[in-house]
Amino acid sequence: MTEGSPLDLSRFLPLFFEEAEEHLEVLERGLMAAESGADPRPFIDDCFRAAHSLKGSAGSLGLHIVVGHTHVLETELDAVRGGARPLDRALAGHLLVGVDLLRRVLDSLTAGGDGQVEGAAEWTHGAVSGAVSPVEARPEAARGGLRLRLSTHADTFRCGLDPLPLLRDLDMLAGVVRAELAAIPELDELDPTTCHLTWTLGLAESPPPEMVDELFGFADHLFTVEHLPDVADVPQAVATPAVSVAPGPAHVAAPAPRPERATLRIATEKVDRLVDLVGELVISQAILGEVLHELGQAASERVQSAFATLERNTREVQERAMGIRMLPVAMAFDRLPRLVRDLGERLGKRMGVVIEGEETELDRSVLEHLTDPLTHLIRNCADHGIEPAADREAAGKPPVGTVLVRAMHQGSTVIIEVSDDGRGLDYARIRTRAVERGILGAEAALSEAETIELLFAPGFSTADTVSDVSGRGVGMDVVRHSIEALGGRVAMSSKLGEGTRVRMTFPLTLAIVEGLCVRVADTTYVVPMAAITSSFRPNPRDLKPVLGRGELVISQGVQMPLVRLSEVLSGPPGVEDPCRGLLVVVQHEADQAALLVDGVIGSTQAVIKNLERNFQRVEGVMGATILGDGRVALVLDVAGVLRLARRRTGSSRVRTSIALGAASCTVQP
């Protein structure tokens, strides 16, 4: 860029939109916490700073529609902060609507639009007409304030920056802004690309210097701030009363402060490309290891040592690259308090949310698609689970219902649970509704687990009426399909009168998995190590056929089903006699089974390639990988394999019926 040419600010927009979303999250969390009954002052101050910073950043980029909308938010928050207005539930709701509209404005600008969204102008007009200006609320007087001198940097104009929007805002808030013209040179000596102006600013209050530095810290690229003595033309400072908050029906736990950490913003496509390259590196290392294994003693000791170092370094690079993809689940949890609050308002119920384990990390590709399942589950908790306050008190429960969202690590998986302390599932009602819809026969006898499976059937709902929250019977069906598409599994449990819990299990990463290579005929499969508990060759006395239900095998005193992989996956037939093959014992949650294979090849790091992208989804298969000898192997989804085995043996007939998606099929007792 040549000297004096205008600066292209469009390249700063992606970073601005990312930072704007962070400011909106601070605003939303702060308003939710401030109305919950906790000490509101810190949260209101955080909200004010977020709005102020967002407005300043938008102004420096010329996004005037964002500046105007954010200025109204900032004015309202300053009125609350200064004690001119109480933060009651109505005002908090109004400000949250403003945050939603501002998010839509930013979404429009991100998509290349003009930022004009329906309802924004009406909200701004209503907020301005109902607000008490913080300047008008303070009487003029002689002394007691603070003066600052704001000196612009000489290269401000050359950097494409304009201090005028900020000065206009300061004039509205401070009341006294004056320009000092003495430093401006004569016209024949004036350089129009150099900024010579200095302003004095009068503040009504006298905050400590560190607060002033924080207030103008975002504008250090525009001004140098200097403190001046008090003078008579500064508006009088007034005492700031405590912020009053009217209690509301919803209670949201105040967010815990998050530790500060240095971060670097990187485009996601760069991270994905890096992970892909690391995967190719792992495959290349496996191929090289296979070559060295074939050479045996022919490979020199020096080559073997160099390969061992390469293997160790490759493993560390892989772990570091995988770590870049891992993000805290807080990114998906942050909006849940707002969702619970809005649902409570809409349904007339008193309810709050408790979040645990939000620092648990999960693969970014999973996390990005977790919002919809979580939203459906929270809606079910609010509509079907949590009772009205009167019903809860009659049942001896606290009037405020609680939705608990918890995340935790378990081995190489991440578990996310959504539970409520509501009425729980009425199994008799579910069976009755299934009979009415023709899914079950009138005399069908189902276990609790099989009854719960009915809730995942497409179109099945126990709601008497359809509302904008639930009742169409698509929620749990969407949850299951969304979670399984991410390589996860979902299970539900409930106790009448005590509540319902939904547990979602996800693999820690979808890119690379430690696995055991097994052989069935001429086909190679990879079984994830995390699912394997043991392997053994059975004796004839350990085998026990069950009429019409397949085979059982006894291992260490425990009976479990024997699963023939060649039959379940419709592959080429392998060894027929289990005593001549090998049984690999796998477990998924409470399910355990022994997979019959011809033999074990060895362990491997499987770089998972997506089958669905180039072929189609195959139940029981997580993906494919390339082995060190160049062959392609299928990576097994243990939960899917066990489910297929249950269907083959008919041990869960209701699951088969529901999977068909046919409302007319009947399950007989």
Helix (H, G, I), strand (E, B) or coil at 598: coil
According to CATH, what is the number of the domain 9-130?
1.20.120.160
- Whole-angstrom distance, CA of residue 433 vs CA of residue 446: 14
Higher pLDDT, 641 or 297: 641
Quickly state the pLDDT bin for 387 (edges 50, 70, 90).
very high
pLDDT of residue 656: 30
Quickly state the pLDDT bin for 209 (edges 50, 70, 90).
low
Integer CA distances (angstroms), 581 to 297, 515, 532, 538, in order: 31, 19, 17, 8
DSSP state of 385: I
Q: Comparing 151-155, 497-501, 537-541, 570-574, which segment has the lowest mean pLDDT?
A: 151-155
Report percent pLDDT > 90 for the chain.
8
Quickly state the pLDDT bin for 500 (edges 50, 70, 90).
very high
pLDDT of residue 255: 45
Report the pLDDT averaged over residues 44-63.
Answer: 83
User: Measured in whole angstroms, how far is the alpha carbon of residue 474 from the centre of its chain?
Assistant: 22
Report the pLDDT averaged over residues 537-565.
Answer: 84
**What residue spans define the domains of the chain?**
9-130, 146-228, 268-327, 329-426+462-507, 512-636
The CATH T-level fold of domain 329-426+462-507 is Heat Shock Protein 90 (3.30.565)
Give the model confidence (pLDDT) of 408-421 as tens digits: 988 767 899 999 99
pLDDT of residue 3: 41
Residue 100: phi and psi, rounded to 5, are -60, -45
Residue 641 amino acid letter: V
Pairing mode of beta strands 558-564, 582-588: unpaired
pLDDT of residue 168: 60
The yes-or-no verdict on residue 260 having pLDDT over 60 is no
Higher pLDDT, 133 or 382: 382
- Whole-angstrom distance, CA of residue 484 vs CA of residue 499: 24
**Cβ 222 vs Cβ 195: under 8 Å:** no
**Cβ 582 vs Cβ 525: under 8 Å:** no
Give the model confidence (pLDDT) of 99-132 as tens digits: 998 999 998 888 888 888 888 877 876 654 444 3
Give the model confidence (pLDDT) of 595-626 as tens digits: 999 988 888 877 777 777 667 777 888 888 88
- Whole-angstrom distance, CA of residue 621 vs CA of residue 276: 20
The domain over range 268-327 is classified in CATH as 1.10.10: no
Strand-pairing partners, residue 573, are: none
The CATH architecture that domain 512-636 belongs to is Beta Barrel (2.40)
Give the pair of three-digit tokens for residue 153.
């940097």
With a CB cutoff of 8 Å and minimum separation 6, the contacts of 107 are none
Query: How much is the pTM?
Result: 0.60
Report the pLDDT averaged over residues 560-586.
Answer: 88
